[in-house]
Every structure is written in structure tokens, then in C-alpha cells.
């Protein structure tokens, strides 16, 4: 990932972790809440066993949840859609995560065989926070823009 990557979709951003290259004794990556990560972390989960090249994950947005997605190993393609613009990002750098804010439709595909995705989340799991239908998502974006400029 280019550390200067610019996001044209709203409510997304690049997150630089603290990084020590302890070569030849490995690399050390650090993510501290409210320091490197722009929210207090309430939940951590990770996804592995992505050997199926046709796997598709995500395909939803959240109403309030904020997350940072990090490819701690390997790579995947993250497709983002803020309701107005779309952007495709190759996530392939353990020293940088992608901030995925509320009302951002996200889909993950093209996982490398060794891909492991670590996700830092601002809230405990709540299925009611999910928007799993794209037309409901577009409606939520429109309603939100009427209420406050984002």
C-alpha cells in the first residue's frame, strides 16, 4: 500500500501503525487506541483460512461501527462505496490499516492464500448495526446527508 494513498470515498482513511523493523529478528507492529487508532477499541477479531480464491466477505455497511482492517499477512482487495463514489484498494501492508467508518459499504475479495485480516472495532458485535442490503444503505446515506453534512 502506498503510505500516501488518498481516499476519494468519504469516511475512509489510511492508518499508520507504529512499526519497528527488528530485522533479522522480525517486525513489530503496534496499534494503540486513540493514538494510532482513532477510537477506543471494544472488539478485536481476525479472519484466516482464506485459501478459497473466490471467497467474498463483507458486502455490508454499518450504521455506527468504526473499524480498522489490517492485512497482518498476505493481501486482499477492499472495495469501498460511500454511496456516491467507489474505490478499490489493495490492502497488502501490515504496517498500515484501512479505517472503515460508518455508512461505508465494503466488500473484500481476491485474498492471497496466506491472508490474515485483523480487525479492530469500536463496538461490541450488534447485528442491528449491519446494513446488508445495498438499496437500504443508499437510503441511509441520503437520510444521513439530509440530517448532517458528512
> Annotated active-site positions, please?
60
Which residue's CB comes closest to ligand TYD?
A: 57
Listing DSSP states for 54-66 in one string gives T--EEEEEESS--
Scanning the chain, the segments in alpha helix (DSSP H) are 134-147
* Alpha-carbon span 106 to 81, nearest angstrom: 6
Contact between 46 and ligand TYD by CB under 6 A: the answer reads no
* Alpha-carbon span 18 to 31, nearest angstrom: 7
Output 2-5 pairs: Cβ under 8 A, ≥24 positions apart. 3/96, 5/89
Number of residues counted as binding ligand TYD (CB under 6 A): 6
Nearest to 68 by CA among 38, 108, 95, 90: 38
* Alpha-carbon span 53 to 72, nearest angstrom: 18
Instruction: List the x/- string, 111-150, binding to ligand TYD by CB under 6 A.
Output: --------------x-------------------------
Residue 5 or 119: which CB sits closer to ligand TYD?
119
Contact between 57 and ligand TYD by CB under 6 A: the answer reads yes
Applying CB under 6 A, among 7, 10, 29, 58 the residue interacting with ligand TYD is 58
Contact between 45 and ligand TYD by CB under 6 A: the answer reads yes
Strand partners, 30: 18
Q: Please state the closest distance from residue 106 (CB atom) to ligand TYD, in A.
A: 8
Q: Which of residues 72-91 bind ligand TYD (CB under 6 A)?
A: none
Give me the residues that bind ligand TYD (CB under 6 A), please.
43, 45, 47, 57-58, 125
Amino acid at each position: 500500500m502506498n503510505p500516501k494513498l488518498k481516499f476519494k470515498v468519504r469516511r475512509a482513511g489510511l492508518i499508520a501503525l507504529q512499526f519497528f523493523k527488528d530485522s533479522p529478528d522480525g517486525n513489530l507492529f503496534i496499534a494503540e487506541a486513540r493514538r494510532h487508532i482513532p477510537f477506543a477499541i471494544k472488539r478485536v477479531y481476525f479472519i484466516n483460512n482464506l485459501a478459497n480464491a473466490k471467497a467474498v466477505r463483507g458486502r455490508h455497511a454499518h450504521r455506527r461501527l468504526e473499524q480498522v482492517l489490517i492485512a497482518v499477512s498476505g493481501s486482499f482487495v477492499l472495495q469501498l462505496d460511500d454511496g456516491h463514489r467507489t474505490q478499490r484498494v489493495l490492502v497488502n501492508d501490515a504496517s498500515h490499516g484501512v479505517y472503515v467508518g460508518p455508512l461505508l459499504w465494503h466488500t473484500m475479495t481476491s485474498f492471497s492464500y496466506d491472508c490474515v485480516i485483523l480487525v479492530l472495532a469500536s463496538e461490541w458485535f450488534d447485528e442491528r448495526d449491519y446494513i446488508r442490503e445495498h438499496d437500504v444503505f443508499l437510503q441511509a446515506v441520503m437520510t444521513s446527508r439530509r440530517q448532517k453534512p458528512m
